[in-house]
Copies of this chain bind each other. A is one copy, B any other.
Amino acid sequence: MSTIKDVARVAGVSIATVSRVVNNGPKVGKKTRVKVTQVMEELGYTPNANARALVTQKSTTLGVIVPALTDPFFASLANGVDTIARQHNMQLLLSTSQQDAESERAAINLLIQQRCHSIVMHSKKLTDDELVDLCEKIPGLVLIDRVIDVIKHKCVWLDNEEGGKIAARHLMSLKHQQVACISSKYQIEDPTLRLRGFSQELGRAGIEINSQLIEYAEPNQQGGEIATQHLLASGQKFSAIFVYNDAMAIGAISTLEDNGYRVPADISVIGFDDVLISRYSRPKLTTLHYPIESMAQRAAQLSLDIKSKAGESAVEGYKYLPRLVKRESTNIKY
A46 at the interface (CB under 8 A from B): yes
One complex includes copies of this chain to the number of: 2
* B-side contacts of A91, CB under 8 Å: 93-95, 110-111, 114
Grouping DSSP codes into helix (H, G, I), strand (E, B) and loop, the A interface class, with mixed when no group exceeds half, is: helix
CA distance A279 to B277 in the complex (A): 10
Binds B, one of A66-74, A304-312, A314-322: A66-74
Which of B112, B250, B257 has a CB less than 8 Å from the CB of A46?
B112
B94–A49 CB distance below 8 A? no
B280–A257 CB distance below 8 A? no
CA distance A121 to B91 in the complex (A): 15
CA distance A276 to B113 in the complex (A): 35
CA distance A96 to B84 in the complex (A): 12
* B-side contacts of A69, CB under 8 Å: 69, 75-76, 78-79, 82
- Please give the distance in Å from A105's CB to the nearest CB on chain B: 12
Which of B72, B93, B257, B277 has a CB less than 8 Å from the CB of A93?
B93
Given contact pairs A46-B109, A72-B75, A280 touches B96 in the complex (Cβ within 8 A): no
Chain A interface residues toward B at CB < 8 A: 1, 44, 46-51, 53-54, 60-61, 68-70, 72, 75-76, 78-79, 82, 86, 91-96, 109-115, 137, 221, 247, 250, 253-254, 257, 276-277, 279-282, 293
